[in-house]
């Protein structure tokens, strides 16, 4: 009888754990979808007003890094409170605003809107593939974290250097690397949720949002470099 009771307890425990993981994943997907709204609003405002047009070179880098890391620190501090979601949405608005400079440049091409939609579709495709893989891969991917972090740092350093060098070829190489690294990060972050390694949906949303926005802007940069049509 004791063995039966223990079996029931174990089964209930596994059920509760699976239910918690599904809840985190569901809330993450909802918040991720919601986060795209302020991103689009920020990008639209930036393009419409040209407010970010002067943020080039070192000034743009300082504003972006200062704002991004400031918001991420605030999100980490508020992720367990009612303020967590509004702070996260404020961050996604800021990211949309920062993205507007690249979007405005791409819209300067004759086929600009098509390039933006292609980048959006490509990013959605990458996310779908990684979400599907995360649900079928049984292997623990936690060992990827160290290598992905090193890759992300290398991309950031390369990007900062290229701001001052202004190399189109350099931008293309960095964009290709970023697509690879952040697509892998997407799989890693999704697997963390599926395996129960990430239990806070605000932190999970932040991680996936950063993966998605990096893949999107890198795809957009590549499409602009190789597919932009001048009038």
Enter the pTM of the model.
0.88
* Of 14-18, 105-109, 206-210, minimum mean pLDDT range: 14-18
Q: Averaged over 208-230, what is the pLDDT?
A: 92
Residue 135 within any structural domain of the chain: yes
Residue 115 within any structural domain of the chain: yes
Task: Report pLDDT for 4.
Answer: 45
Residue 95 within any structural domain of the chain: no
Does residue 27 have a pLDDT over 60?
A: yes
Cβ atoms of 40 and 96 within 8 Å: the answer is yes
pLDDT, tens digit, for every residue of 129-154?
999 999 898 888 888 889 999 999 99
Residue 122 within any structural domain of the chain: yes
Cβ atoms of 172 and 201 within 8 Å: the answer is no
Q: Give me the number of domains the chain comprises.
A: 1
Residue 60 within any structural domain of the chain: no
Residue 125 within any structural domain of the chain: yes
Q: Averaged over 54-75, what is the pLDDT?
A: 86
Task: Report pLDDT for 127.
Answer: 96
pLDDT, tens digit, for every residue of 190-205?
999 988 888 899 999 9
Count CB atoms within 10 A of the CB of residue 202. Answer: 20
Helix (H) or strand (E) run with residue 175 in it: helix 168-194
Task: Report pLDDT for 60.
Answer: 79
Q: What is the mean pLDDT of the chain?
A: 88
Q: Averaged over 108-117, what is the pLDDT?
A: 93
Residue 28 within any structural domain of the chain: yes
* Of 119-128, 136-145, 172-181, minimum mean pLDDT range: 136-145
Task: Report pLDDT for 177.
Answer: 95
Of the candidates 22, 25, 42, 45, the residue with the CA atom closest to the CA atom of residue 92: 42
Residue 63 within any structural domain of the chain: no
Q: Averaged over 118-133, what is the pLDDT?
A: 95
User: Which band of pLDDT confidence, cut at 50, 70 and 90, is reported for residue 15?
Assistant: low
Does residue 36 have a pLDDT over 80?
A: yes
Task: Report pLDDT for 149.
Answer: 93
The total number of residues shown for the chain amounts to 231
The parent domain of residue 188 ranges over 2-35+102-227
Task: Report pLDDT for 13.
Answer: 47
Encoding tokens for residue 141? 């991917």
Supply the DSSP symbol for 229. Answer: -
- Residue 196 zone, left/alpha/beta (φ > 0; ψ -120 to 50; rest): left
Instruction: Give me the torsion for CA of 84, 85, 90, 95, rounded to 10°.
Output: 100
């Amino acid at each position: 009888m004791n063995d039966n009771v223990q079996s029931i307890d174990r089964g209930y425990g596994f059920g509760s754990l699976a239910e918690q993981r599904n809840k985190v994943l569901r809330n993450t997907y909802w918040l991720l979808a919601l986060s795209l709204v302020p991103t689009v609003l920020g990008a639209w405002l930036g393009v419409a007003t040209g407010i970010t047009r002067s943020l080039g070179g070192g000034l743009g880098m300082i504003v972006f890094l200062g704002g991004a890391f400031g918001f991420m620190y605030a999100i980490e501090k508020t992720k367990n409170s009612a303020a967590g979601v509004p702070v996260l949405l404020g961050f996604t608005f800021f990211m949309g605003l920062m993205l507007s400079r690249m979007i405005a440049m791409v819209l300067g091409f004759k086929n600009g809107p098509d390039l933006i939609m292609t980048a959006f579709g490509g990013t959605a495709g990458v996310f779908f593939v990684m979400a599907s893989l995360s649900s079928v891969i049984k292997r623990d991917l936690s060992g990827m974290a160290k290598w992905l972090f090193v890759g992300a740092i290398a991309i950031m350093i390369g990007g900062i250097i290229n701001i001052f060098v202004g190399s189109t070829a350099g931008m293309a190489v960095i964009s290709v690397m970023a697509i690879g690294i952040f697509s892998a990060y997407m799989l890693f972050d999704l697997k963390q949720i599926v395996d129960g390694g990430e239990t806070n949906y605000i932190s999970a949303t932040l991680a996936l949002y950063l993966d998605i926005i990096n893949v999107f802007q890198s795809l957009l940069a590549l499409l602009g470099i190789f597919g932009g049509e001048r009038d």
